[in-house]
Structure 1
C-alpha cells in the first residue's frame, strides 16, 4: 500500500489541531474531566482508537510523572498524525488557557466577583457530569466481570480513605499485579497493539535526554536566571505524579520561598487557573510571565515548555515498551487489572473532590441529574451543557440573595 500523500498528512495534522483547540476551549474541570472529554470526543464519537487502547494509554500515564491528561492528548495526536500531530494536539489543547493566563499576568484584570462565582460554579457542575459520564462508559467496557468491578470499587474506597497521587500509582501497580495473578487469559482486552510510528532507538534517546536534563539543569542553575527557571519548572514536571494540583507544592517551594513571586501572586494565579479550560499546568504561563526579566511572553513560553517537556519525553520513551508488553499474555492480564483500577480512580475523583466541589446548594442536585440525563442518556452536546450550566448557575447566584439562600 502506498503511503498517504503529504496533503492527506497535513489534513490530519490540521484536523488534530482544530479538534484539540475546541477541547482546549471547552474542557473545564481538571485532568479527570479532560479524560472524559477525550473519551467522548475521540473514542466514542470519532473512534480514533477503541476503549481498550484508550484505557491502556490512561494506565500508562498513571505510571509516569507529568500532566496525565496532556500526556494522553499528546499520545492521541501522535498516534493519529505522527510527530506533527502530537505537537498540534499539545498546542491546540494548551494554547487557550496558556494565553489567557499570560494575558492575566500582564494586565492583572479585575472581574465582577459575583459573575465569576456563577461561571465557576456552572463549570464545576459540568465537570462533575462529564466525569460521571466517563465513569459510566468506561466501567461498562473495562469492568465486565465481578473481579474487575470489585477491584474498581476497592480502589475507589482506598482512595477515599487515603487520597494522594502516590496512592493512585501504588494502586495501579497493585492492580497490575492482581491482574497478572488472577486474570490470565481474559478475553475483554484485545491484543491489538498501538501503532506507534517510531522505534526503540527514538524512545531510548528521549529517555537519555530526560535524564541528562534532570541531572544537568541543576548544575547550570547558577549560570543565569533563565537556566534557574528552567531547572525549577523542569524539575517540578519531572518529579510529580498526579498532574496539575500535585505540582503546586514544588512550584511554590521553587518560586515563592526564594521570593521570585509573592504568595499573593501565586495564589491569585492558582485561583484563576481553576476557572480556565484545558490543563492546569498552564498555571506555568502565569508564573513564567511574572518571573523573568526577558519579557512576559518569553517567560510564559519558557515555563510552559519546561514544565510539560519531562512528561512528554517519558511518554515517548515508554510508549514502544508499553506497546510490546501488551502482546504478552501476562502483561495483557496486568493491563486488565490496571484498567479496572483506573475506573476506580475516576470513581474516587468523582466522589471527592469533584462532586463536593460542584454541589454547594440543594438546587445543584436536580441540575446534576438533569445534566446527567442530557449527556449520558441522550448523548447531548457538551457545548450546550456548558452554556446551560453557566447560564443557570449565574442566574441562581443572582437570585439566591433575594430568596435568602
Structure 2
C-alpha cells in the first residue's frame, strides 16, 4: 500500500501546477472520484480542517489522505512523494543561480519578481473577498495592514494574527452585532448545529485522547527545544506554525528569516519566489530554495554542497512539520470543535488578519523591489490580467514575464 501511495502522490507532485486550490481539485479527482480512497464527506471534512489550521492546506490534505490509507508512515510517504519534485527543481535553480549574473540573466530574475507581484496581488484579492466580507473582519485586516507596514517584525506578525482572532471572537460574543455582522449564526458560545453536522471522522479508529495530547505537546515542545538545537530548524518551524490562509502568507515570514537577517539578498529571494510559482507541487517548497542558499552553496568557501543540501532538507522538513502535527492532533476532534461559534469566529478573525499581513508584504518587499519602472508595471498588469481574467496556466505567465523583461532589456 505504501508503494501505491508513493507513486500516486509522486505523479501528482510532478503534474500539480496552479497552487493550493488547484491541488485540492486534483486530490478530489484522484482520491475521491477515481480511487475512492475517501468519500465526499470525508474529503470535505479533511479540507475544512486543513484550511482552518496553520500550515500548507493542500499538503496537509495530502498528508491526511496518506494517514488514512497507510497510517503515519503513509502520511510521510505521501508528503515526500508530493513534495520531492518541486524541492529538487528549486534546489537545482538555487545551485545554478550564479548563471543569471549577466544582463539577460538579471532580466529573467526580474521577470520572476514581477510574476511574484502579480501572483500575490491575485492572492490578496481572492483572500480578501473570502475572509473580509463583514465590517469587523475588514477592519481587522485594515488594522493589520497598517500595523505591519509601520512595524515590520516577526513578533508583530504573530501579535496581529492573535489579536485578530481574539477581537473577532469577542465581537461575536457581544449581545449586539456591528453593521456587517461577524456571522449569520447565533451568538451562543456553546455547541450548535452547523453545515459540518453530516461529516464523519476521517480516521477509522479514533485515536485516544492521550495520543492527541502527545501530538500537541510535541508541537508546543519543539517551540521550546529547537532554539537550543538548530537555529535554521527553529526559524522554519516557527514560520510553518504561523501561516494561516494559504501558501502566499509564508512570504512575509520567510522574508523576515532570510532577508532581514542578511542571509539572502532581496533580489534572490524574489527570484526564488517567482520560480516557486513555475514548478508543480506545494508553495512551501520555497523553503528548500532558501535553505540551500543559506547553506552557502553559491560560495563553496562558506560551506560544502553537502551542507547546502542538508540545510535545504532541514528547512523543508521543519516548515511542514507543525502543520502535520496539528492535523494528527485535531483531526479526531474537528467535528466537535467546529460546532462552537467562538472557535469559528476566532479562526475568521485570524484569517482576516492574514489578509492584511499579506497586503503589507505585497507592498514591501514585493512591489518596492519588483516594480522599478513603468515597463515593469506594464508587465505586471498584463501578468495579472492573464491570471485573473484569462485564467492562463501559471507556467505560461512565468514564461511571458521572463520573455517580456528580457525584451525590455534588449531594447534598452
Q: Normalised by the size of structure 1, how large is the TM-score?
A: 0.69
State the partner residue of 2:356: 344
State the partner residue of 2:155: 166
Once residues 142 and 289 of structure 1 are traced to their aligned partners in structure 2, the CA distance between those partners, rounded to angstroms, is 39
State the secondary structure of the residue aligned to 1:275.
helix
Deviation per residue, 1:103-122 (Å, 9 max, x gap): 44xxx954442112111111
State the partner residue of 1:34: none
Once residues 63 and 354 of structure 2 are traced to their aligned partners in structure 1, the CA distance between those partners, rounded to angstroms, is 22
Once residues 147 and 182 of structure 1 are traced to their aligned partners in structure 2, the CA distance between those partners, rounded to angstroms, is 8
Cα distance 1:145–1:236, how it changes in 2: closer, same or farther (>3 A)? closer
CA contact (8 A) 1:236 1:251 kept: no
**Match among 296, 304, 309 for residue 312 of structure 2:** 304
Once residues 315 and 163 of structure 2 are traced to their aligned partners in structure 1, the CA distance between those partners, rounded to angstroms, is 29
Cα distance 1:179–1:190, how it changes in 2: closer, same or farther (>3 A)? farther
Cα distance 1:386–1:46, how it changes in 2: closer, same or farther (>3 A)? farther
Once residues 79 and 235 of structure 2 are traced to their aligned partners in structure 1, the CA distance between those partners, rounded to angstroms, is 22
CA positional deviation for 1:218? 8.3
CA contact (8 A) 2:270 2:366 kept: no
CA positional deviation for 1:393? 0.6
Matches within 5 A, 1:246-325: 246-248=256-258, 272=268, 274-276=270-272, 277-278=275-276, 279-282=285-288, 283-288=290-295, 296=304, 298-319=306-327, 320-321=329-330, 323=334, 325=337
CA positional deviation for 1:213? 7.0
Once residues 56 and 210 of structure 1 are traced to their aligned partners in structure 2, the CA distance between those partners, rounded to angstroms, is 17
Q: Is 1:390 paired with 2:390? A: no
State the secondary structure of the residue aligned to 1:183.
helix
CA positional deviation for 1:149? 2.0
State the partner residue of 1:141: 130
Q: Is 1:86 paired with 2:86? A: no
Once residues 201 and 105 of structure 2 are traced to their aligned partners in structure 1, the CA distance between those partners, rounded to angstroms, is 44
Deviation per residue, 1:220-253 (Å, 9 max, x gap): xxxxxxxxxx73433443456664322338987x
Once residues 149 and 381 of structure 2 are traced to their aligned partners in structure 1, the CA distance between those partners, rounded to angstroms, is 23
Once residues 99 and 343 of structure 1 are traced to their aligned partners in structure 2, the CA distance between those partners, rounded to angstroms, is 32
Cα distance 1:247–1:352, how it changes in 2: closer, same or farther (>3 A)? closer
- Across the aligned residues of Structure 1 and Structure 2, the Cα RMSD in angstroms comes to 4.1
Deviation per residue, 1:31-85 (Å, 9 max, x gap): xxxxxx5344235787689999879756642xxxxxx5xx445313213443022
Once residues 90 and 347 of structure 1 are traced to their aligned partners in structure 2, the CA distance between those partners, rounded to angstroms, is 27
Cα distance 1:361–1:334, how it changes in 2: closer, same or farther (>3 A)? same
CA positional deviation for 1:162? 1.7
State the partner residue of 2:188: none
Matches within 5 A, 1:205-224: 205-206=214-215
CA contact (8 A) 1:206 1:313 kept: no
Deviation per residue, 1:183-234 (Å, 9 max, x gap): 3572489647796658465554455556777777888xxxxxxxxxx73433
Cα distance 1:42–1:22, how it changes in 2: closer, same or farther (>3 A)? same
Deviation per residue, 1:273-314 (Å, 9 max, x gap): 543333443232345475999x95643443233334444443
Number of aligned pairs?
344
CA contact (8 A) 1:183 1:337 kept: no
Cα distance 1:181–1:51, how it changes in 2: closer, same or farther (>3 A)? farther
Structure 2 residue runs of 5 or longer lacking an equivalent are 30-39, 68-74, 174-181, 186-193, 243-249, 277-284
**Match among 179, 182, 189 for residue 171 of structure 2:** 182
Structure 1 residue runs of 5 or longer lacking an equivalent are 1-5, 27-36, 62-67, 220-229, 253-265, 401-405
State the secondary structure of the residue aligned to 2:230.
helix
Once residues 313 and 194 of structure 1 are traced to their aligned partners in structure 2, the CA distance between those partners, rounded to angstroms, is 25
Once residues 146 and 52 of structure 1 are traced to their aligned partners in structure 2, the CA distance between those partners, rounded to angstroms, is 28
State the secondary structure of the residue aligned to 1:317.
helix
State the partner residue of 2:387: 375
Deviation per residue, 1:77-104 (Å, 9 max, x gap): 2134430222323323322112443x44
Once residues 178 and 305 of structure 1 are traced to their aligned partners in structure 2, the CA distance between those partners, rounded to angstroms, is 38
Cα distance 1:366–1:73, how it changes in 2: closer, same or farther (>3 A)? same
Matches within 5 A, 1:102-141: 103-104=95-96, 110-141=99-130
Cα distance 1:310–1:180, how it changes in 2: closer, same or farther (>3 A)? same
Q: Normalised by the size of structure 2, how large is the TM-score?
A: 0.68
CA positional deviation for 1:326? 3.3
Cα distance 1:275–1:249, how it changes in 2: closer, same or farther (>3 A)? closer
